[in-house]
Structures are given as structure tokens and as C-alpha cells.
Structure 1
């Protein structure tokens, strides 16, 4: 049975509209004040412009120690509700048929709420090791916030035994995920009246050639691998998802811009994949364009990225989480989380949280009360194990 404290915390968190385009400071400051009321030390690590912030809090061990222990990691931002048809107010928690509806209930304020609700219980436990909260900003737009926090913790000399990233996994441990890499490409040709085609250089058509090349690379990964059968999509994927260009039907377009992403299996180097895209541009596409227009150019810009994550079966954090959940199945997922960033920082990690990823980002997003109850039970066992 979910405690009223978790439901109350989730109601509070959902009411803060922390869509990534907005500031999360009101939520962060509310959590800071609530933890401070319990005597919990809190640090805020703000974004460069000061508009957003990470929060890091430590519940010390019984002897006052703050080194080691487990980090509970969650992101505070949510995806937009623009254009979605909701049956309820997305920023007002609504209970119906054993479910709690609202933006972020599943991804991933439910996990944060369960952890915060149990703080008084955690503090009353005679723990030998500390327990930490790491709340980040801008995960949904490229895992931008967490690196700021991790760098500061590294400078402070902080050490941790492990990290649990509470993304929605239906409370089933996930030991690996793909990396995500998002790129923008800008193609610059030469405008001309469409009746004088030879005097122009068509940016859209050359962009189309490059998009087809990206699709060819994707087909090669699908046909030739490498593969990992534990993933739902067992190979690296590439896809172009946005494009714009041109000003009129009778004008050769001077500019075309598109965005593409690839999700690489652990062990594959993202720079090597991007290098194949850029090699095609340098060796084939640009020479063709410049025969038409000497000043033609193609530019690439990295928009976002998160590293892949792959945890060994023997990692202590994996063994612990499997024991606490009673679930020893090996799971790997195609979506990305902040676990790869924690792993890069030398912190062994696992992904495990309430809710189903299939409900994330959708209209009428929800988390089941039963999932939150399982999360509470898991977190109590975790704290007791410390």
C-alpha cells in the first residue's frame, strides 16, 4: 500500500511545470527546504545561466560519515504536453482506478516522490553508510544537468559505492542501455530561379543524398551488426527525424537543415559512427556541390548526447538490487538515461524505478499505485542494507 506521504510528494512535484524549456528552480528550492527542515545538508549546482539547478543531498551515516553509500538519481524535468489530448490537467495529480495521472508521474517524479517521502524513515535507521539524493535538470534534452553536478562532486573528492537511476523500469533492474547522439546538419547551396537550374546548387537535394546515406548506414547496422540479443532492438539504429528548407516552389533552395540521431550499442564508439557520415560529405557530396558552387558548405553541430551504459553482472550494485527485487533477469534497453554519466564518473550504476517506459512522454501519463508501493518497499530494503 502506497503511503500518503508518497502521494502527497508526487502531487507537489507534478504541480511544478518543469517542462525542460522552463526553470526547475521552484521545485528544487521546495525540495531543498523540505530536506533542510529534517537537518539534511543540501547543495545546489546551478546551470551556467543560473536559471536551473541540480540538487545533491546527503543523509549521513550513523557516525556522521558522508563518503560511500548509494546515490538515488532522478531528473526533475519533463517533456512538453503541447499538442497532446489529456483527459485531466497534466499538472494536477489525478487518481483513477489505481493509477495516478499527470505529467512526470512515470518519468520520473514517482521515484523522486517515493524517496523523499521516506526521508524521515531513512534518518531514523542506524545506517552504517550514507544515502544520497541527486536530482538533475535537463535530462530530457540531452542529459545536460547531471555532468555539471558530477564534475563538482568529483572536485569535492566525493566517493560512492553505487547509484540507482530511478527511470521507469516497472521496478525491474536494467543493467545496460544504448547511447544517444543527436546531430544537426546545415547544407548551404546557392539560390536561383528554378527555370535557371544550372546556375544554382540545390541544398535540399544534397541534404536528401546525405539523409539517404544515413539510412544506408542504418540498414548496414541492421544487416551486419554488431548485435546484442539482450536489447529489444539488438543493433545500433540511425534515423533522420526533422528537416526544413526552401522558400518557394519556384526557387532553388539555398539552405536546408535537418536533424538526425543514432543510438549506439555499448562498445561502439559514437565518434566512429559520426566519422562515417562526415567522410561521405567530404569525399563525395561536397566535391559534387562545389563543381556547381565553389562556396558550398555542409556544417555539423552536436545537439545532445548521452553515453551508453553497460554494467557487469558481478558489480556489487547489481548484485544488491537483484537481491532486493528478487529479479535476476538480464535486461538491456534502447532508451538512454543518466546511468552512463554516473558510470563514466566511476560510480557503478543500475536503472530501476516505478512505472512503465511505455507510458512515458504520452498523453495521460500515469504510474500505478502498486508500482509506487513496490518502489517504497525496495527503497526501505535498500536503506536497511546500508
Structure 2
């Protein structure tokens, strides 16, 4: 059986674990831990507080700082209400395409890492090689955040990180951050005929949305010179506004789901500072003039920093050498790479499959893309 055939078989195993972010990933982590331990890796399984989620770190070579980290997330997005033509958790191959939830995002990269691991382990000499498989990337990069916090505490870090998100094996050196929030408004219910006696949570939420839209326009003027992103400025999106239940009742509760995708972290600080001042100086005084118990609370879902293009990035340069790429790219979607970069790790995104198939019904990856990924890992072995 060829290395590619072995990778396809392992990918089929991985797809059979329905590791949707809302559910546990323990079974797929257990499978990967057993496979890597059998190859001689040092295994560390890091559980979250619930005990139902875990990261896996499998290390070859010496202990200590430095070395390379190959990283992929084990969670996948839901399949509910999608028009799949077959069981999404049973991989199907047709005409060189491998269908199943997570094939490209991003269990294809993980399968390639597992099958390339014995070859890479043989080449490791004086620097550690880490295989890192995380939980809950799709819902805020929670596993990667926990890992970064642990590495900070231990005062150790790899030197380089390759995150194998689906890029069609293009070398990605930059992407925006992803900051997601819920802002909840608590007012005072009353009869619609006496609006001054209540605190209309929907109205105040609407004023907050108007402020977000104003900031959205202001951010265009803050576009960094030479920004390569599309669009080149930090964006804001209001995804949902919910509240109220009848046309003649003053609604006491409302909630906004919104996000921003910063080009630079300074833009995120600008937006948050403006909103905090607007709430404290304008909205809350008006609400509490009627009801002292009225409130506005923002809950952070995730604040994942972007991957900033750097003049010096050894991981980018390594990937360009391994893939033969003549240039690098910027993408709009987020990954765990910015978190690792925030730790001082040179990070790059490069992996098999297309983001156009990610999260879609009948998600797929091609054998050809897996082959290109294995080629990159084989060349990496020669350099280790």
C-alpha cells in the first residue's frame, strides 16, 4: 500500500468520528494518541475543564524549546439541515475525490501528518518535532487558546508552526483576526401605549447597532497603508438582533450577535473603547433614568488575533522552500496561526484542500491535494 493509500485509509478512520464542535472530541483524540504513541512519540493529552474535550501533543526528538509544530484541529462544523447525498461521517470516494465532513477542514492534513510521522521521526535530530491536534477551533479556537496559555506558563515554545488549514497548498502568511460578541440589553417591560414608563431593550439595541455601523464606516479611514487584505480595512458585521414578542409590549430584553475582523489589533481596541464610552456615557444613563436595574452586558465569544505578515518569518520561508512556491498569499478566513504568532512563534498556514469546500454539504478533498501535502512533508523530512 502506498503512502497516499495509507493516508486515505487513515482519513476514513478520522471521518468516522463525528467530532462536531458541540460534542466531545475525546474518541478521535484517543485514536490519534494511540497511533502516535505506537510510533514512539511522547504523548500529552490536555483535557478542558469539562473533561469532554482535549488537545493532543505528540512529540518526537529532544525535549525543550525550539523545533517545529505541525498543527490541525480535530473538530468539525455541524451537518444538520445540509443536503448531504450520503452519510457525512462515512467517507466515500468518487473519481479521486474523498467526501465526508472534515475531509478538507481539516482531517486530511491530520491524516497526512499521521502517515508521514514515522518518516519524520527518523529524521529528527537535535530539535523537537511536535504534532498538535486541537479541539474547538470552529467555535473560537478554544483548544489553541488553552495550549498557548499552557506554553506561556511553562515558558517554552516551538520556533516554527505550520497550520494545515485548507489552502490548496498555497503558502498563507497573513489573515485577519476574528472577534465575536453577544451584547445583551436588559430593560423594563411595559404597555406599548406608555413608552416613557418602560425601557425598550430593542430600541437601545438598535442604537447600539447604529453605533456599530458608524464605526464600520470610520474603520475604512483607518486602513493601514499597503494593506493586502480584501477588503483592506477592519470589518464589522451585525449577524443578529433578537428581542421582543408582541407589537404592543415594551420589550425588556434584546441581544445582538456581532463580530469584527481586525486588520490590526489597534482597530479592535479602538472599537471596544468607543463602545464602552458610548454605553457608559449615553445609553446606560438614559436607561437607568427610568429603571436603575437596566443594563448592557457584552459577552466575548472569542478574540482570536490575526496572522500578521512579517518581514522575517522562518515558517513562511520554510513552506515556500518545501512547496516550491514563488509567492505568498493573504486570506480572509481565520485560523489558529495568530494565536501561536502572539507567543513569538513564526507561523504560516499551508494545507491540502480548498476552503471553498469547507463547511459545505458533500465536503471533499482530492487525492491529488493529499499527495501534494505528503510531498511537502517528505521534503520536510529531508530537511530535519
Using structure 1 for the length normalisation, give the TM-score.
0.94
Cross-structure match for 1:237: 235
Give the equivalent residue in structure 1 for 2:275: 277
Question: Please, which runs of 5 or more residues in structure 2 have no aligned partner?
Answer: none
What do residues 360-385 of structure 1 show as CA deviations (whole Å, max 9, x unaligned)?
11111111211111100001111211
Which residue of structure 2 lines up, in the alignment, with residue 255 of structure 1? 253
Preserved CA contact (<8 Å) 2:16 2:90 = yes
Residue 310 of structure 1 aligns to a residue in which SS?
coil
| In 2, Cα distance between equivalents of 1:173 and 1:259 | 32
- Alignment of 1:205 with 2:206, yes or no, is no
Aligned to 2:312: 314
- Counterpart selection for 2:379 from 360, 378, 381: 381
Paired residue for 1:371? 369
Shifted more, 191-200 versus 38-47: the winner is 191-200
Q: Structure 1 regions of 5+ residues with no counterpart?
A: none
Query: Aligned residue pairs: how many?
Result: 383
Q: TM-score, normalised by structure 2?
A: 0.94
Q: Could you tell which deviates more after superposition, 233-242 or 292-301?
A: 292-301
Instruction: Name the counterpart of 2:102.
Output: 104
- SS of structure 1 residue aligned to 2:273: helix
TM superposition shift of 1:200 = 1.5
Q: Partners in 2 of 1:227 and 1:360 — Cα distance? A: 31
CA pair 370-260 structure 1, distance change in 2 beyond 3 A: same
RMSD between superposed Cα atoms in Å:
1.9
Q: Residues 205-254 of structure 1: CA distance to partner in whole angstroms, max 9, x if unpaired? A: 11011112101211222355235541122110001112221132221101
Task: Please tell me whether residue 358 in structure 1 is matched to residue 356 in structure 2.
Answer: yes
Mapped pair 1:30 → 2:31: yes
Q: Distance in 2 between matches of 1:365 and 1:83?
A: 14
8 Å CA contact 1:184–1:301 kept in 2: the answer is yes
Q: Distance in 2 between matches of 1:227 and 1:189?
A: 43
Match of 1:47 in 2: 48
Q: 2-side partners of 1:127 and 1:72: how far apart?
A: 17
Q: Return the match for 1:190 from 188, 193, 217.
A: 188
1:91 aligns with 2:92: no
State the secondary structure of the residue aligned to 2:319. Answer: helix
Task: After TM superposition, give the deviation of residue 16 of structure 1 in Å.
Answer: 0.5
Deviates more, 1:305-314 or 1:8-17: 305-314
2-side partners of 1:292 and 1:154: how far apart?
47
**Distance in 2 between residues matched to 1:384 and 1:210, nearest whole Å:** 56
d(CA) in 2 for partners of 1:115, 1:385: 16
1:88-140 deviations in whole A, cap 9, x for unaligned? 21111111222111111111111111110112222333645332101111111
Equivalent runs, 1:126-165 vs 2, <5 Å? 127-165=125-163
Structure 2 equivalent of residue 7 of structure 1: 8
Could you tell me how far apart the structure 2 residues matched to 1:213 and 1:174 are? 34
